[in-house]
Chains A and B, each alone.
Chain A
Amino acid sequence: MSQDSQWPVWEVFVQANPGIPHKHVGNVHATDAEMAIQNARDVYTRRSEGISIWVVPANAISASSPEDQGSFFEPSNDKPYRHPTFYKIPEGVKYL
């Protein structure tokens, strides 16, 4: 007999209302996708917190690492022209 197992981990994302993104809420253990969805429903939407659920096998997620923080995210700090507040528009001009 193989090792005892608490089953693979699935990360859970719940959409709270129509029109907003799915948000990571935690994880559940399950042997297949259908079970993961049902478990996520029972664990994370007991108080009507959601209208849609995504589950993803935890080992299928790749993430950037904290060491990448500098090279990944700081370069955008000196590109203020990506933000609308960078531009001065004379008062009185509307709808911009």
Chain B
Amino acid sequence: MNLQEAKFQYLLRLGDSNLIIGHRLSEWCGAGPILEEDIALINIALDFVGNATALLTYAAEVEGKGRTEDDLAFLRGEREFRNLLMTEQPNGDYAATIARQFLYDVYTFYLYEALKSSKDETIAALAVKSHKEITYHLRHTTEWMYRLGNGTEESHERMQTALNDLWMFTNEFFDMDEVDALLIKEGVAADLEKIRTQWETRVKEVIAEATLQIPTTNFKQKGSREGKHSEHLGFLLAEMQSVHRSFPGAQW
């Protein structure tokens, strides 16, 4: 694997994760618990789609085969997607959505902070912009962790269940392979072992403050680095890509 191939893979991982989690959030449109929250969720979804677009645009450029960001988003199959398993998990109830977003936000908060000093200038510039947005997302989801964890008996229970259900997808955040090894050596990517420590500290703090328990499950799921996903992704892509694929070669 050369540097260019590694970079392409790495950008797909970042871009696909944002695209898919943004897609999931956008499914809340018109169904949020209160109008203000509907607006907040769409705002966050919009940030994710924007970041995904920028990352996939750069991925296509790095690949250099004349593909566009739309080709990457709409014409790849599920085995070619590199998004984290966490990001494709269905919305569930509001607690499940908040838990998924929170766990991912803490991860990207530290990841993009590290990427700000990437030796790849485009990645560094994107990270600077994204990190501001993530800081806000994390503030939003952290507050909701407190509210739902501490709120009522029902909300506490739902929140704990959500954390328990999603915990098995967190380990994959820090999974590293030859792509990471090569890019860390070149100063392009972040060392996910360091991110893990920061992630664990912050997540523990918030979970404690929310009077919730760290899940004790030993289940660990991984596979997205090789395009092995949960069954949910296929349905998501079928929906997302349906119009684009029905009109081959059309401009929109």
Residues of A bordering B, CB below 8 Å = 6-7, 28-31, 34-35, 38-39, 42-43, 46
Residue of B nearest to A6 (CB): B34
Stretch at the interface among B36-44, B63-71, B173-181: B36-44
Candidates A6, A29, A38; contact of B40 at CB < 8 Å: A38
Q: Which residue of B lies closest to A34 (CB)?
A: B143
> Is the pair B40, A39 in contact by a Cβ cutoff of 8 Å?
yes
CA distance A6 to B35 in the complex (A): 9
Q: Is B139 an interface residue (CB 8 A)?
A: yes
CB distance from B98 to the nearest CB of A (A): 13
A82 to chain B, nearest CB (A): 43
- Residue from A34, A39, A46 within 8 A of B36 (CB atoms): A39
Instruction: Give me the interface of B with A, judged by CB distance under 8 Å.
Output: 34-36, 39-40, 43, 139-140, 143, 147
Can you name the residue of chain B whose Cβ is closest to the Cβ of A41?
B136
Q: Is the CB of A30 within 8 A of B36?
A: yes
Query: Chain B: interface secondary structure?
Result: helix
Show 6 A/B contacts (Cβ-Cβ < 8 Å), sorted by A: A6-B34, A29-B35, A30-B36, A31-B147, A35-B36, A42-B40
With A6-B34, A28-B36, A30-B36 as given contacts, are A42 and B143 in contact (CB-CB < 8 Å)?
no
Q: Which residues of B contact A42 (CB under 8 A)?
A: 36, 39-40, 43
For A38, the chain B residues whose CB sits under 8 A away are 40, 139-140, 143
Are the C-beta atoms of B43 and A46 separated by less than 8 Å?
yes
Verify A29–B36 contact, CB threshold 8 A: yes
Kindly provide the distance from the CB of A42 to the nearest chain B CB, expressed in whole angstroms: 5
B139 — which chain A residues lie within 8 A by C-beta? Answer: 38
